[in-house]
Amino acid sequence: MATILVIDDERMVCDLLRAVLSRYGHEVITAFDGQNGLVLFEQHRPRFTLLDLRMPGMDGIEVLTRIRALDPKASVIVLTGTGSADLENQARQMGVTDFLSKGLSLEVLVGTMERVMQQPVKSPPPPSQSAVAPKASSPSQDAGSILVVVDEPQIRELLRKFLSARDYQVREAADGQQALALVDQKSPDIIVLDVNMPGINGIEVLKRLRAKNYAGGVIFLTSSQDEMLLQEGLELGSVDVLGKPVDLERLELTIQLGCILSTP
């Protein structure tokens, strides 16, 4: 088992990496800013650090500089986004272990981290050498089917990986129209539905589903603080309305509740 530190201002990314890597038996510590990340680095001296370059306040380069002052040989994998070429060049000159794009698949990310951990320190291999995020057990017969309807590709990918790792059958839709078509093909137990989408928004999608007698659970995701909009979602029979960024642990609990409520 290795101690892994994730420093990223996106809570969903931290939560997802913790959930997936913990299934390999690793201890995963997360920080949502550079200052707290450095405190945790000094306290735990992790086997390696996964570091976002672009963060408000103290950016990844400053964090990396201070990590190098504490431990010149520390293994650091830099997680990069778009438009960060200058920062990447600075990080490369400071001898980072690897670079990974935020747009890559979770399988590649996990596979790279496993290789880094296996190189300098001899340790038992994980239960499965597959690059696919592992499951703790064989698929549960009680796992439900979930339709994730979010127009942001990266969030859809994160939610699909997180829920699939928990044995749910997951399908994706990028907009309301596609979601309605997929429900017509096969009705899911739960729909995780973004409220604010171009074209048909989440509220309208749920209205049309209710008109078609869809009886499954619906969980709304929203960054809006519009009380009337949120109340309308609850009046349409949604299981819950969750804010963005999504708390994945709360989402999982809400899905479990929704599956219970939607069971005849």
Whole-Å CA distances, 218 to 148, 197, 262: 10, 16, 10
- Show which of 118, 135, 162 is a domain's final residue: 118
Task: Decide if 55 is inside a domain.
Answer: yes
Average pLDDT, integer, range 130-146: 48
| CA pair distance 228, 220, nearest whole angstrom | 14
Residue ranges making up the domain that contains 38? 3-118
Task: Decide if 129 is inside a domain.
Answer: no
Would you state the pLDDT for residue 244? Answer: 80
For residue 21, which amino acid is it? L
Task: Decide if 127 is inside a domain.
Answer: no
Would you state the pLDDT for residue 38? Answer: 96
Check whether residue 157 and residue 241 sit in a common domain.
yes
Domains: count for the chain: 2
Would you state the pLDDT for residue 44? Answer: 94
Residue 158 has pLDDT above 80, yes or no: yes
Check whether residue 150 and residue 258 sit in a common domain.
yes
| CA pair distance 176, 184, nearest whole angstrom | 13
Would you state the pLDDT for residue 11? Answer: 80
End-to-end CA distance of the chain: 42
What is the per-residue pLDDT across 181-211, written as a single tens digit (0 to 9) for each? 999 999 999 999 998 898 898 889 999 998 9
Q: What's the chain's average pLDDT?
A: 79
Average pLDDT, integer, range 230-239: 76
Task: Decide if 140 is inside a domain.
Answer: no
What is the per-residue pLDDT across 74-116, written as a single tens digit (0 to 9) for each? 888 887 765 566 777 777 788 777 777 655 555 566 666 666 6
CA 21 to chain centre: 12
Check whether residue 12 and residue 48 sit in a common domain.
yes
Check whether residue 102 and residue 154 sit in a common domain.
no
Check whether residue 150 and residue 112 sit in a common domain.
no
Can you give the CATH number for the domain in which 98 is found? 3.40.50.2300
What is the per-residue pLDDT across 5-29, written as a single tens digit (0 to 9) for each? 999 988 877 877 787 777 777 899 9
Average pLDDT, integer, range 136-143: 42
What DSSP designation does 134 have?
P
3-state helix, strand, coil in the chain (%, to 5): 40, 20, 40
Task: Decide if 124 is inside a domain.
Answer: no
What DSSP designation does 25 have?
T
Tokens of residue 137, six digits = 């057990």
Region class of 123: left (phi > 0), else alpha (psi between -120 and 50), else beta: beta
In the chain the beta strands, taken as DSSP E runs, fall at: 3-7, 27-31, 48-52, 76-80, 98-101, 145-149, 169-173, 190-194, 217-222, 240-243
Check whether residue 62 and residue 155 sit in a common domain.
no
pLDDT confidence band for 134 (50 / 70 / 90): very low
Check whether residue 162 and residue 234 sit in a common domain.
yes
Task: Decide if 153 is inside a domain.
Answer: yes
Check whether residue 92 and residue 174 sit in a common domain.
no
Task: Decide if 94 is inside a domain.
Answer: yes
- Show which of 118, 137, 159 is a domain's final residue: 118
| pTM for the full predicted model | 0.53
Residue 43 has pLDDT above 70, yes or no: yes
Check whether residue 50 and residue 150 sit in a common domain.
no
pLDDT confidence band for 124 (50 / 70 / 90): very low
Task: Decide if 157 is inside a domain.
Answer: yes
| CA pair distance 101, 16, nearest whole angstrom | 16
Residue 137 has pLDDT above 60, yes or no: no
Would you state the pLDDT for residue 205? Answer: 93
